[in-house]
């Protein structure tokens, strides 16, 4: 049995995370000292440069890795680990049992964590960027509490393209446990896990750009170390998952991938689906930002995920979609929405500037259908491959007299669909 009292080995997992879409980890009350934004992101003071910089607190990364690992393992067998948050009636929140992988690795009230995650700070490449606006900016967010009329408030976020260095220690662990952590990190690249808040309107999509694993241990009183193959660790973790009993895939909570053991009939079928979409601008697109001619993600102009989501909601309401489906897709009083929509960003080589997105530009975006039914997905996918005006009339320049010159018309088209299937997951 592992004991934290005696050091037998330590694995170091280090690497780089790069944001694909803006990220928001709120700064709370202490943020006022470095930001004038009413809704700032968390920052830390760097004595070297004498400036405040965004970072990812170790506790934030630990939280998302824990829930991602729980989701993966519980898809294969719910008895192997509990959930850190969620339905307390289930009696399976932070169980603290030695047999529970999640409590063993990440800790519980019964015992300390084997995993320690340091704060992730900017990569050297980002840190040497002189222009602070290159990685921090304010974006308008149209919140509509209680489904009322939308109110605009400025919200700070860290720009797409920003890179952070992460550092994870696993004490007295096994290659299988390292593999489970790596598989959880890989869920970022699969677009099924997201960093920070606002993920349902597309914040916090990211990818692990590079990583390495090193093992340290004591040999005759001296510390030895060697490089470990991440691939071998992930294979060991998959052998473990494959050996589990297999859970019923009927539960539609967020603590597992729904219908992971059922064969789909259609590419948009009951389950967890990530779609990559191409968005073609049939006219030019622009939408006034706070300090910007048109909203950007820090790198270039975008159609914000919240705008696209707002459009979908409006259309589905117009089509008198039933209340139960609307709540499931967009969220209700006590649960988040199942539809996650990212920004649509320009993906071409040609320079397009920061003023607008020109006509005929091709953008890319993700839509995640998080444990949705085929029917719920159909409501949304019915709006693909049509000419649609993605913003309200004011942004689109529609007046009583001129309907023809309206801008912000786009067409969304599915390019790639990936549904979580247990069999495929273990084989890839």
Which residues here bind Zn ion, judged by CB under 5 A? 82, 95, 100, 103
Determine the Cα–Cα distance for residues 233 and 175; give it in Å rounded to an integer: 5
Instruction: Please give the C-alpha separations between residue 66 and each of 82, 116, 255, 324, in angstroms, as whole numbers.
Output: 10, 12, 11, 30
Q: Which is nearer to Zn ion, 110 or 225 (CB)?
A: 110
Name the minimum Å distance from CB 112 to Zn ion: 14
Contacts 24+ apart (CB under 8 A), 328-335: 328/372, 328/373, 328/376, 329/372, 329/376, 329/379, 329/380, 331/200
Name the minimum Å distance from CB 105 to Zn ion: 10
Q: Which is nearer to Zn ion, 106 or 366 (CB)?
A: 106
Determine the Cα–Cα distance for residues 419 and 252; give it in Å rounded to an integer: 15
One DSSP character per residue, 27-63 reads -GGGGGGT---SSPBPEEEETTTTEEEE-B-HHHHHH
Q: Which is nearer to Zn ion, 100 or 136 (CB)?
A: 100
Name the minimum Å distance from CB 65 to Zn ion: 15
Q: Which is nearer to Zn ion, 69 or 302 (CB)?
A: 69
Name the minimum Å distance from CB 383 to Zn ion: 41
Instruction: Please give the C-alpha separations between residue 343 and each of 20, 277, 403, in angstroms, as whole numbers.
Output: 10, 11, 26
Given a contact cutoff of 8 angstroms between Cβ atoms, the answer to whether 156 and 137 are in contact is yes
Residues 6+ apart with CB under 8 A from 379: 316, 319, 321, 325, 329
Return the number of other C-beta atoms located less than 10 Å from residue 68's C-beta: 21
Name the minimum Å distance from CB 366 to Zn ion: 31
Q: Which is nearer to Zn ion, 184 or 283 (CB)?
A: 184
**Residue that has been written with the tokens 């932070």 in this structure:** 94
Q: Which is nearer to Zn ion, 1 or 222 (CB)?
A: 1
**Residue that has been written with the tokens 């599915």 in this structure:** 414
Q: Which is nearer to Zn ion, 103 or 329 (CB)?
A: 103
Determine the Cα–Cα distance for residues 135 and 297; give it in Å rounded to an integer: 9
Name the minimum Å distance from CB 43 to Zn ion: 33
Determine the Cα–Cα distance for residues 419 and 272; give it in Å rounded to an integer: 6
One DSSP character per residue, 271-287 reads EEEEEEEEEEESS-B--
Determine the Cα–Cα distance for residues 184 and 194; give it in Å rounded to an integer: 11
Name the minimum Å distance from CB 194 to Zn ion: 23
Name the minimum Å distance from CB 111 to Zn ion: 10
List the one residue out of 208, 210, 188 whose CA is nearest residue 199.
188
Q: Which is nearer to Zn ion, 73 or 122 (CB)?
A: 73
Name the minimum Å distance from CB 108 to Zn ion: 6
Name the minimum Å distance from CB 101 to Zn ion: 8
Q: Which is nearer to Zn ion, 2 or 16 (CB)?
A: 2
Return the number of other C-beta atoms located less than 10 Å from residue 425's C-beta: 18
Q: Which is nearer to Zn ion, 97 or 356 (CB)?
A: 97
Determine the Cα–Cα distance for residues 161 and 87; give it in Å rounded to an integer: 35
């Amino acid at each position: 049995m592992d004991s934290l009292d005696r050091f037998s080995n330590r694995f170091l997992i280090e690497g780089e995370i790069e944001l694909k879409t803006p990220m928001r980890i709120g700064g709370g009350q202490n943020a006022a000292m470095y930001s004038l934004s009413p809704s700032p992101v968390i920052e830390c003071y760097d004595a070297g440069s004498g400036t405040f910089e965004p970072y990812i607190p170790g506790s934030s990364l630990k939280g998302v890795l824990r829930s991602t690992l729980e989701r993966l393992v519980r898809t294969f067998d719910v008895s192997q680990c509990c959930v850190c948050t969620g339905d307390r009636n289930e009696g399976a929140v932070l169980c603290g049992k030695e047999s529970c992988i999640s409590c063993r690795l990440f800790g519980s009230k019964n015992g300390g964590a084997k995993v320690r995650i340091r704060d992730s700070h900017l990569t050297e490449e980002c840190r040497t960027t002189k222009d602070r606006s290159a990685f921090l900016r304010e974006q308008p967010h149209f919140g509509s509490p209680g489904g009322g009329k939308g109110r605009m408030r400025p919200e700070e976020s860290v720009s797409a393209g920003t890179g952070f260095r992460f550092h994870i220690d696993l004490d007295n662990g096994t290659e299988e446990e390292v593999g489970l952590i790596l598989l959880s990190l890989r869920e970022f690249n699969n677009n099924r896990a997201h960093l920070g808040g606002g993920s349902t309107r597309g914040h916090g999509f990211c990818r692990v750009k590079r990583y390495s694993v090193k093992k340290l241990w004591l040999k005759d009183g001296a510390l030895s170390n060697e490089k470990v193959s991440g691939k071998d660790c992930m294979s060991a973790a998959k052998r473990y998952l494959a050996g589990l009993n297999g859970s019923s895939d009927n539960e539609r909570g967020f603590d597992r991938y729904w219908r992971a053991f059922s064969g789909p009939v259609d590419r948009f079928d009951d389950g967890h689906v990530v779609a990559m979409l191409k968005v073609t601008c049939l006219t030019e697109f622009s939408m006034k930002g706070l300090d910007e001619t048109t909203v950007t993600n820090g790198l270039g102009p975008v159609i914000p995920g919240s705008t696209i989501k707002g459009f979908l909601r409006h259309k589905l309401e117009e089509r008198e979609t039933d209340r139960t489906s609307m709540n499931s897709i967009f969220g209700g009083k006590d649960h988040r929405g199942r539809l996650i929509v990212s920004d649509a960003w320009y993906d071409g080589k040609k320079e397009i500037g920061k003023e607008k997105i020109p006509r005929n530009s091709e953008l890319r975006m993700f839509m995640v259908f998080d444990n949705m039914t085929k029917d719920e997905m159909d409501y949304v996918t019915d709006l693909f491959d049509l000419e649609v005006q993605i913003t309200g009339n004011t942004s689109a320049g529609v007046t009583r007299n001129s309907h023809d010159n309206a801008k912000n018309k786009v067409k969304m088209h599915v390019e790639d669909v990936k549904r979580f299937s247990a069999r495929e997951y273990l084989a890839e």
